[in-house]
Structure 1
Amino acid sequence: MDNQKNSQFFPDNYDRNTLGLKKKLARKYNVKENFSALDISKNAYNIYDWLSERKVDNPNASSVYFFDYAAQTLGIPYQLLTESYFTQTQLTEEELFKHSTKFNTKLNEMNRTKTPSSQIEVPNFNEKIEEYFSQKQISELLKQLSIPGTNLSKSNLKRYNLNWLLSDIVKSVWGKITVNSNSEEQESLKLYFRKFFYKDKQEYSKQFLSLTKNKLTSLIQKEEIQKLEPDSELIKLLSQEKIDTDSLNKYIKQKQSSLRSLSYYKQFLVHLSHAFYLSPKNIFLLTGQLPTYSVVKTPLEWKYCEQEINQNAQPIFLFGDDNKSVIPFFDFKDTSG
């Protein structure tokens, strides 16, 4: 049964009507360890790790279905769980019960007797984000964006910790706009807040990402940036007629400490929007060959963009998906169309 022995507010049989949905989830994702809607909700803030521990494939995508199940079972708003995740704030059982339309009988009574609220003024979120950055030192922001440890594998999904920075901004702004508001006003504020910061259940909005990138870039550009030069030893390895990927990986392992240098991060962040789709190893290779790149794509990808590779263009070699071969990429400035 989907229950919690130590649950204070939810009865042992609360899942009776959703047991079939739980079985469907367990079967679809091959979850052998017992789990409950309450478990999912209390772990919403670290759902990726929670699902990974249970060996669920594609935790990011599957979290939607687990959140749906928890929300239906407990009678709580789906948004309550996504806010917990995006703001990295753990939910308590008391908070979950407070929002439960299934088990909190007082909630419906309150909704029936609630008087119309006064119009809430829409907060200026741009100003709040400006204020956030004005109170941060660039060195403090760079620490949040550092690579955890020295692991350069593609499975290191928290590379550069960008999501932790975005989450910190969201949490900070939410705290400041609600500091003097009552619970009723906060419910109205949530509508404006979600519209600005979130595109849908799992993604940040473009306006928030764009503003954050621009603020980071302007801060970094005010700093004195050490000009990066192409890595001659790396280029020599990539200039061989047959590139030895074992030697290449060995060299990257030796040089990976430079990925944590301040100069590298300043350069990387300026071009963050152009290369975030690349793995850490490929960002290292790209910066070593072309420190001032703009946008790089394979010849086939440029063809889809209706761009032709210039005749004397110099290729940039990056790892393929298997990390055992290298394939040519070209910078935008080496194309025409």
Structure 2
Amino acid sequence: MASATFTRSAEVEALLQHECKTVAKDLLHQPGPDFLDRCFVPSNRTPQVLRALGQLYHHGRLAGTGYMSILPVDQGIEHTAGSSFGPNPIYFDPENIIRLAVEGGCNAVATTFGTFGTVARKYAHKIPFVVKINHNELLTYPNKFDQILFGSVEEAWNLGATAVGATIYFGSDESNRQIQEVSAAFERAHELGMATVLWCYTRNNAFKTADKDYHVAADLTGQANHLGVTIGADIIKQKLPENNGGFTTLKFGKTHPAMYESLSSDNPIDLTRYQVVNCYMGRIGLINSGGESLGAGDRDQAIKTAIINKRAGGQGLISGRKAFQRPFAEGVELLNAIQDIYLDESITLA
């Protein structure tokens, strides 16, 4: 298979050459064409859920590889529609969101009840739907940060959903209620034969200090992943880790020196591997978010994130703003560039 085309900067070369000396790759349940048979068939997932997972893993350019590329567009609610679609107003029309995922060769598209509700009959048979069932809305003044349900699991099923998605703000004052709501929703989704995807985000003002943002610390996000897998998520979405030591710096939780000395390091691949480890050693796939769009450097940044995720043992990227906040054809090209990293057999687990 041909190698992916990207700028081989010194930073990228270092990532490609990195040797992981923390958790050995042989201990991981590695992505691959037989991932469903190895990791989900022995589980409590029903044949209907296995079929839904098969639809996710066997669609788009990454079909049959064990890797996944998802287009997520819930920012119209989470970040306001104007700020999200202002750079490219065609996406105020929700059909273009689905078109971008289809033409971009994605495994699935994750978006809102409203988007799917307008075009479900036209596209439900063309690409798997991941219906996002809860959101943080920003119209309340002053702004508050709480994930609330926008619809039911049954409504998602009626829209033709292959999976439901939800967010929990672990660490927030509202996290106990969110855990209970999402746990019940995921149980119902599995009863109806749908897969489940959980945005395992941390959220607490105390997690951000004067010099560091521990919302993206490997130890905190790793524990969020562990909780997400425990409540029945089939796929975990997490931000790429940027640092470590959230528990020790903020002086809460339980830790062990191994978390910082032997299970991880300062290298971004090792930090991300700690996230994979907390997904039951990779039995549940980790997909990292693509992050905000910063303009001209988006392609290189997305490729770097994909290399980190793949070499750590993750299963793909869920990248939205970098794709839809640019001209349509460029968005397709960016999604394809990410996918090419996972199709490049020369880029292996560290």
Radius of gyration: which is bigger?
A: 1
State TM-score, norm by structure 1: 0.20
Say which structure is richer in helix.
Answer: 1
Structure with larger RCO (C-alpha < 8 A, sep 6+): 2
Say which structure is richer in strand.
Answer: 2
State TM-score, norm by structure 2: 0.20
